[in-house]
Structure 1
Amino acid sequence: MPAIQSLTMTYDALNEYGTFSEGDAVTGKVTLALSKETTVESLFVKAKGDADVRWTKKSGDRTHTYSAHNRYFKLKQFLIPENTKDTVIPQGTHVYEFSFNIPPGSMPSSFKGSHGKIVYKLEAKLSRSWRMDRTVEKEIHFVSKSFPNIQSLMLHQAGSTNKEMGFFSKGNVHMDVIVDRRAYAPGETMAIVAKISNSSSSDMTPKFSLIQDVVYRANSNTKHEGNVVHTVVDHCIKPQTQKEVKCAITIPRDQVHTIQNCNIISVEYHLKVYLNISFASNPEVMFPVVIFPPDLAPGPHPGVAVGPYPAGAVVGPSNSNFPPPAVSMGPYPASPHSGSYGYPGAQRYSAPPPVYPDNPLVYAGPPGVYPAQSAHGSGGYNNPVLQLASPYGSPFSSSSTVLHPPPTAPTFHPPPCAPEIHPLPSFEPFNISPPAPAYNLLPSAPMMNTDFLSQSDEAPPAYSVLFPSSTTEKSDAK
């Protein structure tokens, strides 16, 4: 009968997902069951994180192998020291506790792909003289929290594409797309709205695909791998018709998170919205997508109104089904298209003008078009901006695919309830303009105080009376 009946290892979960992140403590137990008294040299536990890639490529009769390795940390703890003499352990079951602190810093999440993997694991090893080592391993699910500026990824995205048809069709097609935001946690739903104007003679089918892009790197070479996570197909759009298509894609709960902090493996996502047209290239709009851990999802913030609109929307409802971004959030500059959408006949609007001291809000438009707004009108859902109803048109003037992702910044400061706007130092507060200086009429000209409509038909005064001739003056001077 062997002396070692079993060697097992368990660790304690920190959350309902069973995940660990930078700086977390990993605690557990190693259980050693012996059928008889046994002499051992050492018993230790290791915790380590590694990334590896490997693939081969044939070139003629030769096969090239590309590989790379990254180590993020390696920790070791002895349960039975190895620097002592052989330790005699009596028969029975023995439990040893261990504890590690995962180092801080940016490390990628766990991942397994066809040409590489990122693995974090615990390994217990029992060494005996003149015997084979006995080992047991346990992988831990590591989730990186190195996702800076999550709040900045909550803004919506907008893009458009325009295509002139070729030989097998006439006319053109235009598509405008809005996605509620850029970042999602597994289990959340992505809301997409597409407005399509089919002014051609061809049928076309809208499609929405969430795609995963994996890149492996080794020895200055790359290996790409694309996987379609989910695809939604809508109904066919007939020629000379316009249609608004709404789509919802739920991120799978077990979907791998975005990985951008590994030198040899990267995992990224993008949303592809396109029109499938027979015998023609498909017009498409691409949007970057970030998938991050659920516990990093930003919750509701005090002072921010909650409404039925996608996360990242910064204006209230209007007659248009496309809520344009009237005000940019945070310190980022507004998009070139923010504030107005060029629908034919629609009322164009933008962010409310700054409020200067002693100067009320003034809107350049017909009376009654703009309702009175409070100081919170620039960001609250309870202060909708009224728009005039209009037929569908193009919100962008570009003739090719245009994407306006929200800009990135080193830090993000959530917007206050009411933006504090200071007047420019070079301008004084707007006051009523002073009256123009009075100009006196010529001394020789009579004052006209009589209403012209009530004057009689009598002849006007003679020119010589108003302006005496110079000859007369000269004769008088002599």
Structure 2
Amino acid sequence: MPAVSSFTISCEALNVDQTFSEGDTIIGQVILSLSKATKAKRLFVKAKGDANVHWTEERGDTTHTYSAHRRYFKLKQFLIPEDSEETVLPEGNHVYNFSFRIPSENMPSSFRGTHGIIVYKLEAKLSRSWRIDSTAQKEFKFVSKSFSNFRTLLNEQTGSTEKRMGLFSKGQVHLDATVNKTAYTPGETMHIFAKVDNASSRNMTPKFSLIRTFKFFANGKSKSTMKTVEKMVDKVITPHTQQEVKCALKIPTDEMPSIENCDIISVTHQLKVYLDISFAFDPEIAFPVVIAHPMFGAQLNGSLDPYPAGVYGGPTNSDFPPPVAPYPAPPYPGSHGYPDAKSPYVPPPTYPTDPQVYSGPPGAYPYQPPPTFRAHTNPVPLEPSPYGSPFSSSFSGLQYPPPVLAFSMPTSSPPNQPAFASVSPSAPSFNLNPSAPEMNADFLSQTNDAPPAYTLLFPTSTPGKSEDI
């Protein structure tokens, strides 16, 4: 009679679907039932995730084998210490508790296909002297939460194509198509709108197809299979007519999710909108489609935000605080990512180590009105420069417009004091009066009189006295 009556492993479910994702903690038990006292060397449990690909191809009399393997994580926990001597386990049931935290990394969802699998499982092993190891295994379903750009999956997709007919017909056809978004869940309906301009002499039929493609990669080779998941056909469009077509294509409830984050296995979906024309190449528009797990139905329908409110950007594993949202805030749906309505701008955080910027003594640069150049003005900023005063040690960069400094020399300096001690900066002054008197005379009514003297238009600095040139 064997000493090990039963050896099982179990884990607690986190949700109704009994799925796990990145960062979740697996809590379980290893149950060992013994019919008699037994000596055990080691008892451990591990959690791991692996992807494997394998297929063969025959070419004549030669068979070629292709295989690949990827290890995503492996965690191990000893229930009986490895370095200890043989432990005597008494007869009866022995229950060992364990817990693992799944790494918060980008890993693909569970998958089983013809030429490859992605499996996540728990495995317990009991080692005894002069005995074959006893093992217990349990697979758990892993659902990836990694999306390349979640918000773009909710955007509408549009496309267009045009085809000129061949030898057996005349004219051309133009097709425009729109689909309401990119990501869906099984059982959801895709809403498609198409506009057809049939300026040819042929009949054509609008068709809509949802296609799934499996691809497996190994040793520099690939193997793919394609299947039409769902298809709908609309009415025939006669020659020289325009027609708008609406289609509601429902995704099957048992359709498997897309896998796009595994380098040896991929599951992709595609929506094809095309016109079926006899004896001619069909014009078509292809839209990428992502099928997500049903647990993401609320987020993909817009009722829930996948990221916490008030956070700018996607989830992160960094220990640093999230970045401050720029102003203006990005136009995300709902109120997520926006600051309070009464305060539309959130200033950046301040830290004690920030250097203090010196803006100069008060009144050093009094406000001056802008100069006038004909009908245009050159405004001067009212606020002080954010780079501080040019005399401050924290000054860096250029100011625009650059300040103009006027220095005044004192007539006499106090004893033991340098002559430049009283130098103080001042802003430039602007003369708003014209440099020459205005001439308001009407040029059409001018006479042949001699023009005014030069000294009248441009008087010298000393009245009554002219300078030699």
Under TM normalisation by the shorter chain, which class is it? 0.5 to 0.7
Q: Are 1:74 and 2:74 matched, yes or no?
A: yes
Residues 405-444 of structure 1: matches in 2 within 5 Å? 442-443=444-445
Partner of 1:117: 117
Alignment length (residue pairs) = 328
Distance 1:82 1:266, change over 3 A: same
Q: Report the Cα offset of residue 32 of structure 1.
A: 1.9
> Aligned partners of 2:295, 2:340: CA distance in 1, in Å?
24
Partner of 2:215: 215
Stretch deviating more after TM superposition (125-134 or 158-167): 125-134
Q: Report the Cα offset of residue 294 of structure 1.
A: 4.4
Instruction: Report the TM-score when normalising by structure 1.
Output: 0.62
Q: Report the Cα offset of residue 440 of structure 1.
A: 5.3
> Aligned partners of 1:27, 1:93: CA distance in 2, in Å?
19
> Aligned partners of 2:441, 2:73: CA distance in 1, in Å?
86
Partner of 1:317: none
Q: Are 1:201 and 2:201 matched, yes or no?
A: yes
Amino acid of the residue matched to residue 194 of structure 1?
A
Partner of 1:15: 15
Amino acid of the residue matched to residue 117 of structure 2?
K
Contact 1:204 1:237 in 2 (8 A): yes
Instruction: Report the TM-score when normalising by structure 2.
Output: 0.63
**Matched position secondary structure for 1:36:** coil
The higher relative CO (CA closer than 8 Å, separation ≥ 6) is in 1
Gaps of 5+ in 1: 303-328, 333-378, 381-411, 421-432, 446-478
Amino acid of the residue matched to residue 168 of structure 1?
F
Partner of 2:266: 266
Amino acid of the residue matched to residue 168 of structure 2?
F
Stretch deviating more after TM superposition (172-181 or 28-37): 28-37
> Aligned partners of 1:285, 1:416: CA distance in 2, in Å?
43
Distance 1:148 1:331, change over 3 A: farther
1:7-30 deviation line (CA, Å, top 9, x unaligned)? 222111112222111111111112
Q: Report the Cα offset of residue 6 of structure 1.
A: 1.7
Runs of 4+ more than 4 Å apart: 329-332, 412-417, 438-441
Amino acid of the residue matched to residue 229 of structure 1?
V
Quote the RMSD (CA, aligned, Å): 3.4
Q: Report the Cα offset of residue 235 of structure 1.
A: 2.5
**Matched position secondary structure for 2:140:** strand
Q: Quote the sequence identity (%).
A: 57
Amino acid of the residue matched to residue 159 of structure 2?
G
**Matched position secondary structure for 2:445:** coil
Partner of 1:138: 138
> Aligned partners of 1:18, 1:77: CA distance in 2, in Å?
22
> Aligned partners of 2:279, 2:340: CA distance in 1, in Å?
52
> Aligned partners of 2:205, 2:35: CA distance in 1, in Å?
70
Distance 1:11 1:201, change over 3 A: same
Amino acid of the residue matched to residue 265 of structure 2?
I
Residues 323-472 of structure 1: matches in 2 within 5 Å? 442-443=444-445
Q: Are 1:99 and 2:89 matched, yes or no?
A: no
> Aligned partners of 2:442, 2:77: CA distance in 1, in Å?
100
Distance 1:113 1:301, change over 3 A: closer
Q: Report the Cα offset of residue 254 of structure 1.
A: 4.1
> Aligned partners of 1:62, 1:288: CA distance in 2, in Å?
38
> Aligned partners of 2:49, 2:29: CA distance in 1, in Å?
20
> Aligned partners of 1:27, 1:253: CA distance in 2, in Å?
30
Amino acid of the residue matched to residue 232 of structure 2?
V
**Matched position secondary structure for 2:152:** helix
Q: Report the Cα offset of residue 240 of structure 1.
A: 3.0
> Aligned partners of 1:442, 1:413: CA distance in 2, in Å?
67
Distance 1:138 1:189, change over 3 A: same
Contact 1:151 1:414 in 2 (8 A): no
Partner of 1:47: 47
Q: Are 1:5 and 2:5 matched, yes or no?
A: yes
Gaps of 5+ in 2: 306-328, 345-374, 377-439, 448-469
**Matched position secondary structure for 1:442:** helix
